[in-house]
Amino acid sequence: MSDTPFTEVETDGPGATSSDGSLVAPRDWTSSADPSDVTERWPSESLYRLLPMQQGMLFHSLSGGDRGVYVGQVMGRLPLDVDLCAFERAWQRVIERHSVLRTSFRWEGVDEPLQFVHEKVSLDIKIYDWRHLPAGEQQDKLMDHLIDDRNRGFVLSDAPLMRLALFRFQQNEYFLVWTHHHALLDGRSRVTVLKEVSRFYEAFSGGQDLDLPPPPAFRDYIEWFYRQDRTAAKHYWQQNLAGLAADDSLRSFYDDFPLHADDRYGEQKVEISSALKSSLQQMAQRHKVTAGMIVQAAWGLLLSRYTGGLDVVFGETRACRRPVFEGTPAVVGVVMNTVPIRLRLCSAARFTDLIQDLRAQHIALREYENTSLSDIREWNGISGVAEMFNSLVVFEEFELDSALRREGCTLWQRGIQRSFPAHYPLVAIRAGSMPESGACTSCSRSR
C-alpha cells in the first residue's frame, strides 16, 4: 500500500503509533523570542487570534501536565467492504474545505496565542490488522489503544491536530478512531465534518465527484467576535454574579468515582426510562421550560446537597449558534462557549421555582452567552487560581450517532460515538432528544 497515505502498523503491542512529541508548558504566553520572527516566518493572512474558548483549551493543554485533556475521540464501525481510497479522499477533501482542520497554534514570542492555517496538510491513516486475534483480545487491545492514543496528545504547533486509525477486525470489517483536539471543533462542527466526509465518500466510491458551496470562514466569525462592544455584557455579569461566594468543592464525591484504567478519568452512563422521559417531557411542557433547564435544576440541588451551600454555581456549555453573524450556524470551528449558571436555593423553594429561575436566567443571558470566562472572572474580581465553578453541565439536543443517521449518512449507519475529557473535575452530559434520552457523568481526578 505504499502508493496510498495509509500506514500499516506493527501489532506487537497496543496502540503502536509513530513517535509522539513533547509539549512545552509555558509559564506565560510570551517568551524571549522576537515577535517579528512569527510574522516573518508565516504569512499574516494565515495567522490570526484565537477565541477565548480556544485560548482556555490551549492553556490547559500546555500547562496541566495532562496531554490527554481536551483530546477527543470519535469511534465507529465502517460499512462492510468500505472503499479505503474513497474514504481517504473524502477526509482530505473536507480538510481542504475547512481551514480549522489545517490549523496549528503559536504561543511563543507573541503577546497572545495565535492560530496558523497551513496551506496544505496530509492526513496519515494508520491501519492495525488484528484479524488473527480472538474477539476478546481485539477489544482489550482497542481499549488500551484508546487510552494510549488520548494520553499521547498532540504537538500543538504541528498540523493536522487530528489523526485517524483503522482497526481491521475481520476480512471486510474496519473500526474507526478519529482523534482530534477540541480547540479545533465543537459538537456542531463535528457533525458537519462527519456529514461532509460521508457525502464525499458516497460520491467518490460511486465514481463521481461532489461540489459543495464554500463554507463560512471561521476567521470571519473570530473577527466579528472581537469587534463586539462588551459594555452591556460587563453590566449583566457583574449584576448576575454579585456577592457570589459559592463553594462547590466536590472532592468527597469524585474521590470515590469509578475511573478508567489510566486512573485519571471515569465515566458513568445511565439510560433514562420511558416513563421518566415522558414525565420530564410533560413537566417541561407544563412549565414552558426545556428539558435542559430541568436537568440543570436537578444538578444545582445535587451540588447543594454535596457542598452544603445554598448559593451554587456550575458551568454550562452553550452552542452559541444563533444567527448573530452571517453563517454562524454553519461555521466549522469552536463557536460554543462555557458560562457560569448561578442558583440560589432556600429551604422553602420549590423545584418549579428553580426551573423558572433558570428560565429567566437563560432568556436574559442569550445576548451575552459568548462572553469569555476570562472577562467574567476579571469583571467579578476573581483572580489567580480560584475557580468560579468545578462542575460543568453539557446539554446536547442530539446524540452524534442519531444526528448522522437522520442526515442519511451511509458511512456512519453502523453506529458512532465520541468521548471528550475536559479539565473540570466533574462533567454531566445529557444527550439525545426526548425519545432517545440518556445521561453520562464524567470525572477527572487529575485536578
Evaluate if residue 86 carries a pLDDT over 50: yes
CA distance 285 to 278: 11
Q: 313 near 342, Cβ under 8 Å? A: yes
Query: What's the topology of domain 6-215?
Result: Chloramphenicol Acetyltransferase (3.30.559)
What is the rounded distance in angstroms from the CA atom of residue 342 to the CA atom of residue 244? Answer: 9
Q: Which H or E element spans position 307?
A: helix 291-307
Predicted pLDDT of residue 37: 52
Least confident of 9-18, 77-86, 253-262: 9-18
Residue 18's pLDDT band (cuts 50, 70, 90): very low
pLDDT, tens only, 340-359 = 999 988 765 789 999 999 99
Handedness of CA 324, 329, 333, 334 (dihedral sign): positive
Helix (H) or strand (E) holding 396: strand 391-396
What average pLDDT score do residues 422-430 get? 60
What letter does residue 383 receive in the DSSP assignment? Answer: -
DSSP β-ladder status, 173-181 and 71-77? antiparallel
Q: How confident is the model at residue 209 (pLDDT cuts 50, 70, 90)?
A: very high
With H, G, I as helix, E, B as strand and everything else as coil, classify residue 313. strand
Of all residues in the chain, what percent carry a pLDDT higher than 90?
A: 48
Closest CA to 160 of 224, 113, 117: 117
Q: Does an H or E element contain 253, and which?
A: helix 251-254
State yes or no: pLDDT of 198 exceeds 90. yes
**pTM value > 0.85:** no
Question: What average pLDDT does range 182-208 have in this prediction?
Answer: 95
pLDDT for res 221 = 93
Residue 15 has pLDDT above 80, yes or no: no
Q: Kindly report the CATH number that applies to the domain delimited by 230-444.
A: 3.30.559.30
Report H helices in 128-217: 135-152, 187-205
Residue 261 pLDDT exceeds 50: no
User: Does the structure show a pLDDT above 80 at 387?
Assistant: no
Domains 6-215 and 230-444 share a fold: yes
Query: What's the rounded mean pLDDT across residues 48-63?
Result: 91
Residue ranges per structural domain of the chain: 6-215, 230-444
